[in-house]
Amino acid sequence: QVQLVESGGGLVQAGGSLRLSCTASGLTFSVYIMGWFRQAPGKEREFVAATTRYGGNTYYADSVQGRFTISRDNAKNMVSLQMNSLKVEDTAVYYCAASNHGAASSSDYNYWGQGTQVTVSS
């Protein structure tokens, strides 16, 4: 059974940093595109970042470019999201997802974690 579990969320002041991690099981991790999405209250789920198979390429939403870094460790079946210079508008539930195709659309992803809350205060 495929399972993705996020961790690392919490409360942080604007300008601070958090590192989210997602550990996957039940799939051949290295062949999947791994992505991060987020959903704020009253808003639709939006793309944040993705990393391709074997970590060869990364992609970011314009809103997080230069502040967030996605990385993967295939030996540990883990993908991480380092979030720096956090803004209040980054507040959301962050979800880890796995895709066997595509990268930036939620419809491209086959498996999802349950999410971890990130709250940025001013």
Q: What is the mean pLDDT of residues 23-42?
A: 94
Tokens of 68: 């967030």
pLDDT digits (tens, 9 = 90+) for 59-115: 999 999 999 999 999 999 999 999 999 999 999 999 999 999 887 889 999 999 999
Asked if residue 54 has pLDDT above 90, the reply is: no
To the nearest whole percent, how much of the chain has pLDDT over 90? 89
Decide: 96 and 79 in contact? Cβ < 8 Å: yes
The amino acid present at 105, given as its one-letter code, is: S
In the DSSP assignment, the letter for residue 65 is T
pLDDT of residue 89: 97
The residue count of the chain comes to 122
